[in-house]
Amino acid sequence: DAGITQSPRHKVTETGTPVTLRCHQTENHRYMYWYRQDPGHGLRLIHYSYGVKDTDKGEVSDGYSVSRSKTEDFLLTLESATSSQTSVYFCALRPTGGNTGELFFGEGSRLTVL
């Protein structure tokens, strides 16, 4: 258990509404990631953070923004949700110490956009 909490775990929303998913960690690790998982596409990186206010785009970043105003929280925002953003979203972190490059994942947030 890497101390990752995702919220909400399940959300149903309507097209055009804003949605924010939260990833919270308790151990002050520097590196955090947002992935989405879809049938036929597997897991794909949305955004990556390497520190407070330091973020980078991933493979499928269009339509998403992120913020990291403090170490423990990495927020993923869908400014105007679309049906194509229906997915399961996973947050991951990479422990700063040890330098193994191992990633640990949260339990996921299932988002349905109607």
Query: In this structure, which amino acid lies at residue 88?
Result: V
Nearer to other proteins, 33 or 81 (CB): 33
Of 33 and 64, CB closest to other proteins? 33
Using CB under 8 A as the binding rule, whether residue 38 contacts other proteins is answered as: no
Q: Work out whether 105 is an interface residue with other proteins (CB under 8 A).
A: yes
Q: With H, G, I as helix, E, B as strand and everything else as coil, classify residue 78.
A: strand
Write the binding mask 41 to 80 for other proteins: x where contact by CB under 8 A, - elsewhere.
-xxxx--x-x-----x-x----------------------
- Smallest CA-to-CA distance from 70 within 109, 8, 24 is with 24
Of residues 29, 55, 66, 90, which one binds other proteins by CB under 8 A? 90
Helices (H) then strands (E): counts for the chain: 0, 11
Task: Rounding to the nearest 10 degrees, give the CA dihedral for residues 28, 9, 21, 62.
Answer: 120
Question: 4-7 and 109-113 as β-strands: parallel, antiparallel, unpaired?
Answer: unpaired
Q: How far is the CB of 80 from other proteins (least distance, A)?
A: 26
Q: Which residues bind other proteins (CB under 8 A)?
A: 31, 33, 42-45, 48, 50, 56, 58, 90, 92, 94, 100-108
